[in-house]
Structure 1
């Protein structure tokens, strides 16, 4: 049996590395994963073959030197051409005189995204149920408080005292607006056919009015994407929330935000598989999202900024869900990518 031919039929990327983390062998799946030909794979050390991997090169080096195996699940990988993957990493020392090890990188992007979306949908539905009940309990007494303040204001003869009733009314309105924002859109609305790039351009024109001069906006559109049914106002709000989130992540050091549109084939959203979807990506080169926030990023009131409300991404996720889609997020230092996935008819 031809062992090389056998390994080349595996879907798992397989490397044989020496104690300097240099590849002695790489199968076809390794070439495809990293987007690099076999000759270059064998010329350079492993850390030079990607931008980022969720396991430090020093840990791999120490494991090889100590002849100790390691396993890391759902680690991030960014290839040299900027493609994000989620991988399981396994390093297995091999009994040999030249101290070589077997390294396996198994892609789990699709499984991770499906699991993440189902878990996120379940958690957010629970959060939305809690928020709706809480909003009902808040808005009823708030309406009574506002009405009482209005009646009291009419009875007051001293104009200087009306300043306090006006303050009560103003703060009651502010709290009501906050509750309305927490709830966000709750059900699908009337959809009409629009071009996604027209929606994105409206958002970018709004953003550019307030964008600091040290933040650049770049566009990379696929003009072949067909028009699609949508609530244009809702989708504009979702894109605006994500772009503003990226701008806030870059402030004050500056950087670049790339808005990219592509189509993808055979994509699973929830439990449904679609032949063709729109992938609208908002990519920034900021510091990245803390790992402890990634799993709860789309929950209401969750934010990594002291001045943040924690509502923008939650509302954007809910709008994508009402359009039958989802939002994916992959983040590492130097690159954070939010992708709005929407079915195309």
Structure 2
């Protein structure tokens, strides 16, 4: 009598003879009881489980959620009518979700009806498409602001000049009104300049990324009226990065200050760094990046602001200008980096990716 381990190997070989083992698509074969009879290497990689651990297990026990209704699979066995879903979420374990395209079809093995499931992970494609769309929207908003700023600044300049000329013809008491016009024109000009964001190219220098974070930490820990707990979680193995010290400091400080303003007394902000490999930034694959995470335990970002968070004049606070994050996005973009955010109540995380240039691979 064959041992269980030997029997599993034999079953695996039997299915491999009938299903190409080199498929990059994850393949799962279910019997009439909806238990797993075969899983190819792509499935093992996708689900992070070996075939030995998958064999004989009910499909419903594989995920924490129920991505495929048992009734649909049972109906497939009866009718033979295949079905597909383009956006299926699989919860492998707590807080670990993947999204796949799924196709289910009826097949026969050894004259017995089986179900063939094909799974193709699409998380990366969805993220790239979403990032490309958001970047395009952000660029469109920036162009709109530039055009609007041009239309505003020209008449403001003329208004200010006319007020200056007029003040020379007026008495000292009447000059109070022209001075008010000049002050308000200057205020509006300053606001437009802030909307446009930084207009100077960064002065790039190769530095340790933690030097910037330490400067920010020193700034915010003084005058810490809310008694916030600042945690520094650094990866000392990160190589030096090419960046503009002042501009990167401004970008990160804007994010930290936003967190300080929204979290409650005694809250927590974490400054975290890690090395990240094979990242996609603006459609380009980057081999090695420095990843900076700014994490707070505040109330989170409202759902209605998440898609437009980095647009100018968008703010979740009644007295906010909506310029800080827009400026941070512009500065990170000048560094050929990427700024993104994920948020839920109790955990908001801003992630900055900065490419690490390896001269040996240039």
Matched, 1:126 2:102: no
Q: Which residue of 1 aligns with 2:164?
A: 150
Change (3 A) 1:193 1:46: same
1:274 aligns with 2:292: no
- The residue that corresponds to 2:326 in the other structure is 314
Of 117, 122, 125, which aligns to 1:111?
125
SS of equivalent residue, structure 1 residue 300: coil
CA–CA separation in structure 2 for the residues paired with 1:165 and 1:46 = 75
Q: CA deviation at 1:254?
A: 4.8
Aligned to 2:9: none
Given candidates 313, 319, 325, the residue that maps to 1:301 is 313
**CA separation of 1:70 and 1:322: change in aligned 2, threshold 3 A:** same
> Match of 1:230?
243
Q: 1:122 to 1:254 in 2, by over 3 A?
A: same
**Superposed displacement of residue 262, structure 1:** 0.6
Which residue is equivalent to 2:345?
Answer: 333
Judge conservation of contact 1:113–1:328 (CA < 8 Å) in 2.
no
Deviation beyond 4 Å, 4+ runs, structure 1: 1-4, 9-15, 27-39, 45-48, 63-80, 103-109
How far 1:12 moved relative to its partner?
9.2
| 2:91–2:98 CA contact under 8 A, matched in 1 | yes
- 2:26 and 2:119 in contact (8 A); partners too: yes
Distance in 1, matches of 2:237 and 2:311, equals 34
User: Which has the larger displacement, 107-116 or 285-294?
Assistant: 107-116
Change in CA separation of 1:167 and 1:46 when aligned onto 2, cut-off 3 Å: farther
Give the structure 2 partner of residue 173 of structure 1: 186
Question: Aligned match of 2:268 in 243, 256, 267?
Answer: 256
Alignment map for 1:1-345 (pairs within 5 Å): 1=13, 73=87, 87=99, 108-159=122-173, 161-186=174-199, 188-248=201-261, 250-252=262-264, 254-345=266-357
Structure 2 runs not aligned, ≥5 long: 1-12, 29-35, 76-82, 105-116, 358-362
Are the aligned partners of 1:146 and 1:172 in contact in 2 as well (CA < 8 Å)? Answer: yes
Structure 1 residues 126 and 198: alpha-carbon distance in aligned structure 2, compared to 1, 3 A threshold: same
Cα deviation code 1:118-139 (max 9, x no counterpart): 1122112211111111111111
Distance in 1, matches of 2:194 and 2:90, equals: 33
SS at match of 1:295: helix
TM-score, normalised via structure 1 length = 0.72
CA separation of 1:137 and 1:29: change in aligned 2, threshold 3 A: same
User: What is the alpha-carbon distance in structure 2 between the residues aligned to residue 252 and residue 232 of structure 1?
Assistant: 30
Structure 2 Cα separation of the partners of residues 11 and 259 of structure 1: 38
SS in 1 for 2:238: coil
Aligned mates of 1:117, 1:302 — CA distance in 2: 19
Q: Please, which runs of 5 or more residues in structure 1 have no aligned partner?
A: 16-23, 49-56, 93-102
State the Cα deviation string for residues 176-231 of structure 1 (Å, max 9, x = none). 11111111124643312222111112122222334442422111011121222211
CA distance in 1, matches of 2:263, 2:330: 26
Classify the secondary structure of the residue corresponding to 2:308. Answer: coil
Structure-2 change in CA distance of 1:36 and 1:217 (3 Å): farther
Match of residue 97 from structure 1: none
